[in-house]
A and B are shown apart, each in its own frame.
Chain A
Amino acid sequence: MGQIFPRNANLLMRLSIFAGLLLAVELTLILGVYFRSNYFRQINVAIEQPVPYSHQLHAGVLGIDCRYCHVSVATSSFANIPATEVCMTCHSQIKSNSEKLAVVRESYATGKSVEWLRVHKVPDFVYFNHSIHINKGIGCANCHGQINTMAVVWQTQPLYMGWCLNCHRNPEKYIRPRDQVFNMDYVQPENQLQFGAELVKQYGVNKAQLTNCSICHR
C-alpha cells in the first residue's frame, strides 16, 4: 500500500498546530470583545416603551425636575418609576384625549400596571443604591447621560464593574455640588480635580472604603 500523504504534509501538519493555537487566541479575543461590545451591553440602543413618553419633552423642553416623577431617588435605593396617578396629575387635563396616552388612561381606570421596560440593569449580585449617590454629589447625567435630550431613552454607559470602579477609585473626577445633581447641563469647572477633592472631603466620602467588595456585593 502506497503512502496516503505526500512528504510535504508534514509541513501542513506543523502549520496547522500554529493555526489552531492562533484560532484559540482569536476566539478568546473575539468573545472578549463581544461581551464588552455596545451590542452585547445594549448601549446606545433606544428602548421603545408601551407609552411613547419623551424625556426630551418633559425634562428638556418643559423643564420638569427629575424628582417630580422619580420621587424616591434621593431617599431610596431605587429610583421609582412614576405611578400612573403621577402621569394623570397633568394628563387628566393636558392632552387628555391623546391616542398615545390610551395605555395610561386604561391603567388609571382599571388599576392595571403600565408595563414599562427597564433600560438600565445591573446583575442581581450588585447592590446599587441611588440615594447615596444623589446625596454625595453624583449627578443623574453622570450615569444616565443627557436624558433630557432623549425622546426614547437608551443606556449611554456600560455599567460594568470596571466602569463603576473608575469612579469609586477617583470620585473627585466626577463629584459635583449637591445642588447641581439634577442639573442635566452641568459643566465641570476647569479645576475639577482640586474642586472635586474638596467636595469629597466636605461630603465625607471615604475613598478607602469605596473599593471594598462589600460596598457593592453583599
Chain B
Amino acid sequence: MQTLRSRRRATLTRLARYGWVGLMAMLLAACHSDMYSQPKFKTYAPSSFFADGRSSRPNVPGAVAVGQVKTDTYLYTAKVDGVVGAVMPFPVTADLLARGQQQFTIYCSVCHGVAGFGQSIVAERGALVPANFHQQRLRDAPIGHFFDVITNGVYRGDPNNGGYQSMFSYAARVTPEDRWAIAAYIRALQLSQNATVDDVPPAERAQLGR
C-alpha cells in the first residue's frame, strides 16, 4: 500500500534521477550572446538594407546639423565678395598659435615640412614640389589665401580640361577655426625667417646674447 511518505520519497528519487536534465537545460539557456552582439549598427558596420552596403548614411542634401548654421561667411570662406580677405575673423592669441602649430605639424608638415620650406620626406617621393611658404608670392598673399587653399585645395590647370588636383581639400579633416589657426601659424613661420633684432621687444633682447 502506498503511503503519503513513500509517494513523496518516490517523487524525490525521480527528481534526483532526472533533475540534471533540467539543470543542463538551464545552463544552456545561459549561453546566449545577444548582449555580446546586439542588434544595432556600430560605426562602419555593414548593412544589407541599403544599396551601397553601408549602415552609416550621408547627410540629406541641405540638412544643417544643430549648431552648424554657417552664417558667418567670412569665418567659413575667408572671402568677401569673392575676394580673399587679409584679416583674421577672431583675435590671435598665443594659445591659438600653439593650436595652429599643432595642427600644422599634423596635417601640413607632412608635405610642406615643419619649417614650411616645401621640403619633406613625403614630398621627396612625389613628382610635385609643395609650395615654399617663404617665397615672396606667399609672403605677400593675404592671410585668407591660406585658409582658402586649405579649404578648397589647389588645382593645376582647368579641372574640366585635363587639369588635376595637386593639393586635396582638408576641409573634412581640419575645422574652420583650426584652419585659421594654421593660417596664423604660417604667418608666424614667415616672420621667423625674416625677423630682425628690431622685432624683439627691447626688454627681451638680452636673451639673444647680443
The answer to whether B43 and A78 touch across the interface, beta carbons within 8 angstroms, is yes
At the interface, yes or no: A85 with Cβ under 8 Å from chain B?
yes
In the bound complex, CA of A80 to CA of B56 (Å): 13
At the interface, yes or no: A164 with Cβ under 8 Å from chain B?
no
Partner of B121, one of A63, A65, A86, A92: A63
Chain B positions within 8 Å of A90 at CB level: 110-111, 122, 126
* Known A-B contacts A64-B122, A112-B52, A124-B36; A85 and B168 likewise in contact (beta carbons under 8 Å): yes
| Secondary structure of the B contact surface, majority rule | loop
The answer to whether A86 and B126 touch across the interface, beta carbons within 8 angstroms, is no
The answer to whether B126 and A123 touch across the interface, beta carbons within 8 angstroms, is no
Closest beta carbon of chain B to A34's beta carbon, Å: 15
At the interface, yes or no: B157 with Cβ under 8 Å from chain A?
no
The answer to whether A93 and B166 touch across the interface, beta carbons within 8 angstroms, is yes
| Secondary structure of the A contact surface, majority rule | loop
The answer to whether A125 and B36 touch across the interface, beta carbons within 8 angstroms, is yes
In the bound complex, CA of A112 to CA of B50 (Å): 13
For chain A, give the interface size range. Answer: 20 to 34
The answer to whether B110 and A123 touch across the interface, beta carbons within 8 angstroms, is no
Q: For residue A112, which residue of chain B has the nearest CB?
A: B52
Q: For residue A69, which residue of chain B has the nearest CB?
A: B173
The answer to whether B128 and A93 touch across the interface, beta carbons within 8 angstroms, is yes
A residues with a Cβ closer than 8 A to B are 61-65, 67-68, 71, 78, 80-81, 83, 85-86, 88-90, 92-95, 111-113, 115, 123-125
